A and B are shown apart, each in its own frame.
Chain A
Amino acid sequence: GQNIDQPTEMTATEGAIVQINCTYQTSGFNGLFWYQQHAGEAPTFLSYNVLDGLEEKGRFSSFLSRSKGYSYLLLKELQMKDSASYLCAFLNTGGFKTIFGAGTRLFVKA
């Protein structure tokens, strides 16, 4: 079957670094996405990984290990506006079906 897991909630301090983990199980894999979703708003794209390794984009980085079925999103220099849900999602074989995790709610405190 297909499964994707990520922690329900995390809390971190402004200015710190936080790592949000995501593990998945699937028989077919075509890449992994991270989206950010503020309360009451639509998800917005953060990153896409299809090869193993780290992709860096400003304060946000995303890592993928296909052999381990594991990804993480790293947020540096946390700001209050980073308080949001972070959604991990993978594309199945064929690349047309997207499976989302339930999301991780991140609270950034002063």
Chain B
Amino acid sequence: EAQVTQNPRYLITVTGKKLTVTCSQNMNHEYMSWYRQDPGLGLRQIYYSMNVEVTDKGDVPEGYKVSRKEKRNFPLILESPSPNQTSLYFCASSLSGRNTEAFFGQGTRLTVV
């Protein structure tokens, strides 16, 4: 089954404790992206990757890191989480990122206390 898988689905952590949210896709897509979704603000793009070892900042990259060492995986790293990073996070992939539809993971609800 074609899918984008994120883990964990839910996470509560403390300020400053490094964490990684994993994202994996099995569709051989070139393009992957991370979003955060907050009430009233909609989805905002954090980082995106056009292919292996090629990443770029979205609209809200501060406080986040990503890597794309393999085509299927695109982890999101929070080196020192803060409460303002409490949000619902979605990973998405698409064939090329241009005019192709995005497939989203199930979401990760992160709470930083």
Contacts and interface: CB of A to CB of B under 8 A. Distances in A.
Interface of A: 30-31, 33, 35, 41-45, 48, 50, 87, 89, 91, 95-103
A102 B42 CA distance: 4
12 contacts: A30-B99, A43-B104, A44-B104, A45-B101, A48-B101, A50-B99, A87-B42, A96-B48, A97-B48, A98-B33, A99-B59, A100-B45
B106 A42 contact: yes
Highest count of chain B CB atoms <10 Å: which of A30, A31, A91, A96 = A96
A97 B34 CA distance: 11
Contacts of B50: 96
B87 to A, nearest CB: 14
A42 B42 contact: no
A29 B97 CA distance: 14
Contacts, number: 58
Contacts of A89: 43
Given A31-B99, A97-B58, A42 B107 contact: yes
Contacts of A48: 99, 101
Interface in B30-82: 31, 33, 35, 40-45, 48, 50, 56, 58-59
Interface residues of B, number: 25
Interface of B: 31, 33, 35, 40-45, 48, 50, 56, 58-59, 90, 97-99, 101-107
B98 A30 contact: yes
A32 to B, nearest CB: 10
B43 A43 contact: yes
A31 B97 CA distance: 11
